[in-house]
Structure 1
Amino acid sequence: MKGISIKDIAKQAGVSPTTVSFVLNGKAKEKRISEQVSKKIQKIAARLKYKPNQLARGLRTGKTKTIGLIVEDIANNFFASLAKVVEDEADKYGYKVLYGSTEDNTEKAKGLLEVLKYRQVDGYIITPTKNLDKEIELLQSASKPLVLMDRYFPHINSSYVVLNNYKGAYDATTHLIAQGYKKIAIVTIASEQTQMKDRLDGFVAALKEHKIPFNKSLVKRLAFDLDRESFNTEIKKFLTTVKDLDAVFFATNYLGIAGIESIRSLGWEIGKEIGLVGFDDHDLFRLHSPSITCVSQPIASIGKNIVEVLMNELNHPGSPSRQVVLAPELVVRASSSRT
Structure 2
Amino acid sequence: MKKAKKHSVKGIAEKLNISPTTVSFVLNGKAKEKKISDEMIERVLAYVKEINYKPNQLAQSLRTGKSKIIVFMVEDISNHFFASIARKIEDLAYEKDYKVLFCSNENRDKKSRDLIQLFKDRQVDGYIINPSPGIRDDIEKLITENIPVILFDRYFPGLKTNYVGIDNEEASYRAALHLIENGFKKIGFITLATDQTQMANRKKGYLKAINENGFAHKVLEIEFEGGNHQRRKELIKDFIFKEDLDAIYFSTNYLTQSGLEVFKENSPELIDKFGILTFDDHEFFKIHTPTISAIAQPKDEMASELMKLMLGMLKNSNKNLPSKEIILSAKLFPRNSTIQKGK
Instruction: Please give the range of the TM-score, normalised by the shorter of the 2 chains.
Output: over 0.9
- Tell me which residue corresponds to 2:99: 96
- In structure 2, the CA distance between the partners of 1:68 and 1:332, relative to structure 1 (3 Å rule), is same
CA offsets 1:143-193 (integer angstroms, 9 cap, x no match): 111110000000211110111111121111111111111111111111100
- In structure 2, the CA distance between the partners of 1:105 and 1:203, relative to structure 1 (3 Å rule), is same
- Tell me which residue corresponds to 1:229: 230
- Tell me which residue corresponds to 1:181: 184
Distance 1:199 1:49 in 2: 54
Distance 2:160 2:31 in 1: 41
Q: Does 1:159 align with 2:162?
A: yes
Q: 1:131 aligns with which of 97, 113, 134?
A: 134
User: How far is 1:83 from its partner?
Assistant: 0.9
CA offsets 1:236-262 (integer angstroms, 9 cap, x no match): 1221111x2111011011111111111
- Tell me which residue corresponds to 1:327: 329
Q: Does 1:141 align with 2:144?
A: yes
- In structure 2, the CA distance between the partners of 1:271 and 1:43, relative to structure 1 (3 Å rule), is same
Contact 2:272 2:290 in 1 (8 A): no
What amino acid is aligned across from residue 201 of structure 1 in structure 2?
K
Q: Does 1:108 align with 2:111?
A: yes
What is the percentage of aligned positions where both structures have the same residue?
40
Distance 1:141 1:151 in 2: 20
CA offsets 1:30-61 (integer angstroms, 9 cap, x no match): 55544344323212322333333333222222
Q: Does 1:22 align with 2:25?
A: yes
- Count of residues paired in the alignment: 335
What amino acid is aligned across from residue 236 of structure 1 in structure 2?
K
What amino acid is aligned across from residue 183 of structure 1 in structure 2?
K
For residues 245-264 of structure 1, the aligned pairs below 5 Å read: 245-264=245-264
Contact 1:291 1:333 in 2 (8 A): yes
Distance 1:102 1:30 in 2: 40
Distance 1:317 1:178 in 2: 49
What amino acid is aligned across from residue 109 of structure 1 in structure 2?
S
Q: Does 1:278 align with 2:282?
A: no
Give the secondary structure class of the aligned counterpart of 1:202. helix
Distance 1:25 1:42 in 2: 11
What amino acid is aligned across from residue 130 of structure 1 in structure 2?
P
For residues 308-319 of structure 1, the aligned pairs below 5 Å read: 308-314=308-314, 315=316, 316-319=318-321
What amino acid is aligned across from residue 28 of structure 2 in structure 1?
N
Structure 1 runs not aligned, ≥5 long: none
Structure 2 runs not aligned, ≥5 long: none
TM-score by length of 1: 0.93
Q: Does 1:168 align with 2:171?
A: yes
What amino acid is aligned across from residue 231 of structure 1 in structure 2?
R
Contact 2:263 2:271 in 1 (8 A): no
93-102 vs 2-11, which moves further: 2-11
Distance 2:297 2:268 in 1: 28
Distance 1:180 1:189 in 2: 26
CA offsets 1:170-222 (integer angstroms, 9 cap, x no match): 111111111111111111111100000000010010001111122xxx21111
- Tell me which residue corresponds to 1:118: 121
Distance 1:49 1:63 in 2: 22
User: How far is 1:100 from its partner?
Assistant: 0.7
Contact 1:271 1:337 in 2 (8 A): no
Contact 1:167 1:328 in 2 (8 A): no
Q: Does 1:70 align with 2:73?
A: yes
- Tell me which residue corresponds to 1:45: 48
Contact 2:154 2:196 in 1 (8 A): yes
> What's the RMSD between the two structures over aligned residues?
1.9
What amino acid is aligned across from residue 93 of structure 1 in structure 2?
K
What amino acid is aligned across from residue 239 of structure 1 in structure 2?
I
Distance 2:40 2:304 in 1: 39
User: How far is 1:223 from its partner?
Assistant: 1.8
Contact 1:281 1:295 in 2 (8 A): yes
Distance 2:34 2:149 in 1: 33
Give the secondary structure class of the aligned counterpart of 1:320. coil
